[in-house]
Structure 1
Amino acid sequence: MSNPQISIIAPLYNETESFSQLVARLNAVMEASPLSIEVVLVDDGSRDHTAVLMQQLALSDHRYQCVFLSRNYGHQIALTAGIASASASEALFIIDGDLQDPPELLTEFYQKYQEGYDVVYAVRKKRKENWFKRTAYAGFYRLMQSISYVDLPLDSGDFSLISRRVADILKQMPEESRFIRGMRSWIGFRQIGVEYERDARLAGESKYSFGMLQQLAYNGIFNFSEYPVKLITRVGMMTLGIAILYLIQTLIKRFVYHDVPQGFTALLFVIILFSGVQLIALGLIGEYVLRIFFQAKGRPLYVVREVIRQQQRQPLQGMDSLKLQ
């Protein structure tokens, strides 16, 4: 199958339990659609039988292309590998492999694309998850919208359909700490949201731990907002103002009331306050320095172990071919 109209991108990590249902629903979408469609499955270093199932599928069905990463790099990097591996299709449809993003919405998304939109993103009007996750996600998206210098739509994740030119620009952005939904918004062009009800996981447990979600949130905040740096300046000015007020109070007591302050408690408070502010400032600066450090190394974002495409095994050789140009 050459030059399909749509490439469906789905990263997988330990999805043995839901794999058969994923394939069944993808097959149903492809068979019902008049479009020429390929599916790019990316194995993000799975430790179960996901990779074996992917190999069997790709060797038996030419519509499936499978990319196997050398280890677990994380969801955002796996998506990047899928985008880079997709054929020269006119649009890419990005979903999660756990079927929380229904592939059946492809037709609706493609209709919006035909109306001239380069990015059609999904807006979650309802999530079937526990209250803590729902609250955390809602709070994060609203925080990002208030502090980001790009227009990040509320309650929208990576589930989207993007045009070929948007995909090509994403491939030219070799950011090590990736936040694809923010990068997608930064690119611009015409974008529109489509509301949908996000399903619960079909099987298994979420692969995003609290620490991974926190890291993703950090990538969004530090990559698409100037607020942390400005916060340091504001807190510094505030603490300087407190120190000046305390100095004025001390001078008044000394020269007007001839009272020498017994300042052990106050001194202890000031030391703790300034020490805390300094540590917070160093931590925020450290987040930026750490990102600069990893980016400056110039390493490939990922290493591909093997690609199975059109019933042919295509192992990749050399590191240069793995860098996004």
Structure 2
Amino acid sequence: MPNKTNKISIVLPVYNEEAGIKNTIEVLENFVECQIETYEIIFVDDGSVDSSVDIIRHAQSQYENIRLVEFSRNFGHQLAITAGIRYAKGDAVVVMDADLQDPPSVIPNMIEKWQEGFDVVYGKRLIREGESFFKRFSAKAFYRVMRKVANVDIPLDTGDFRLMDRKVVDALSKLNEPEPFVRGLVSWVGFKQTAVTYERQERNAGVTKYPLTKMIRLASDGITSFSEIPLKIVNYTGFISIVAGIIYGLITIFTGISTLTFAISLMCVLSGMIMLALGIIGDYLYRTFDASKHRPQYVVSNSYGFNNHTGNIATIKKHHG
């Protein structure tokens, strides 16, 4: 059963959340005050250019369980999560967004499943309040495409909101991918996993930090990290191009009719296929090239509230206990 000896770390990536971060802190502190477990709350600032860091620093003077990791620049949401779980000291680590779309009230249900013996308890969204039809549709489509093409079992309709046992966190901390797709890596490391369902809330303040361009980038990272299907598509494209060329040649030979318009159209289609194939191959090659540089995944400029913790491979310039 849950008890005071259980320490839970809550990791929240932050990027320009000044409009709502104060409310998030108050909600979380009110929540943990009513729980039997001991909590630490770790904010990872992903290069915010607003007053998010100042607000969190001020809150540290009021609450001793608040920690802050400050990136030297914007490295991305997934790397902020990666850094947060490396700094976490809890027996279990909960990852959630800083905008309260993932309600803290779900955490006790996750802890209950964890106490039953599950190593990963992920939040499965039943409803996505406050989101456009396009975002809901594109999210559903992405998860279903990923489920079909990925070489690991990534649950449908789940984001990064989840609880992970210490041994899962330790396994994830050893990975060093330049552009990690965290929810895919959690599935990749394995262990005993289950879901709790919840209704995703409307953002309490500010605007989404995941516009269409970032959603596409995240989808691309997920697919290229966990599937070779796009490369197989390149092979199929080449085969189709060959067949189309043969058909065109036969039409020209046996009909004796000049099909200039058909030829031009065919050339345009084939050129497009070639460019698409080169783009797919280039994406995989870039990921290999990026990994070969062996650079740190992120750089931490400051950390507050930790005791002699280096965040694993992160580069740290300053530390404040």
Is the Cα contact below 8 Å between 1:122 and 1:196 reproduced in 2?
A: yes
CA deviation map 1:177-220 (0-9, x unaligned): 11101111111111111110000100011111211111001101
Taking a change above 3 Å as real, the CA distance of residues 70 and 273 of structure 1, as seen in their structure-2 partners, is: same
- Tell me the equivalent position of 2:108: 107
- Tell me the equivalent position of 1:322: 315
In structure 2, what is the Cα distance between the partners aligned to 1:242 and 1:24? Answer: 63
Q: CA deviation at 1:320?
A: 6.1
Taking a change above 3 Å as real, the CA distance of residues 44 and 4 of structure 1, as seen in their structure-2 partners, is: farther
Question: Aligned to 2:157, which of 155, 158, 161?
Answer: 155
Report the secondary structure of 1:16's partner residue: coil
Alignment map for 1:11-26 (pairs within 5 Å): 11-26=13-28
- Tell me the equivalent position of 1:270: 266
In structure 2, what is the Cα distance between the partners aligned to 1:245 and 1:59? Answer: 75
In structure 1, what is the Cα distance between the partners aligned to 2:287 and 2:169? Answer: 23
AA matched with 1:74:
G
Is the Cα contact below 8 Å between 2:7 and 2:37 reproduced in 1?
A: yes
AA matched with 1:19:
I
- Tell me the equivalent position of 2:319: none
Taking a change above 3 Å as real, the CA distance of residues 72 and 4 of structure 1, as seen in their structure-2 partners, is: farther
Q: CA deviation at 1:131?
A: 0.8
- Tell me the equivalent position of 1:165: 167
Is the Cα contact below 8 Å between 1:120 and 1:194 reproduced in 2?
A: yes
In structure 1, what is the Cα distance between the partners aligned to 2:7 and 2:310? Answer: 25
Report the secondary structure of 1:42's partner residue: strand
- Tell me the equivalent position of 1:91: 92
In structure 1, what is the Cα distance between the partners aligned to 2:309 and 2:173? Answer: 21
Is the Cα contact below 8 Å between 1:59 and 1:308 reproduced in 2?
A: no
In structure 1, what is the Cα distance between the partners aligned to 2:113 and 2:173? Answer: 23
Is the Cα contact below 8 Å between 1:68 and 1:307 reproduced in 2?
A: yes
Report the secondary structure of 1:292's partner residue: helix
**CA RMSD of superposed structures (Å):** 2.1
Is the Cα contact below 8 Å between 1:6 and 1:92 reproduced in 2?
A: yes
- Tell me the equivalent position of 1:31: 33
AA matched with 1:116:
G
Identity, % of aligned pairs? 37
In structure 2, what is the Cα distance between the partners aligned to 1:320 and 1:137? Answer: 32
Report the secondary structure of 2:19's partner residue: helix
5+ residue gaps, structure 2, are 317-321
Question: Aligned to 2:80, which of 78, 81, 84?
Answer: 78
5+ residue gaps, structure 1, are 254-259
Report the secondary structure of 1:46's partner residue: coil
Give 1 or 2 for the bigger CA radius of gyration.
Answer: 1
Report the secondary structure of 1:122's partner residue: strand
Question: Aligned to 1:304, which of 268, 280, 300?
Answer: 300
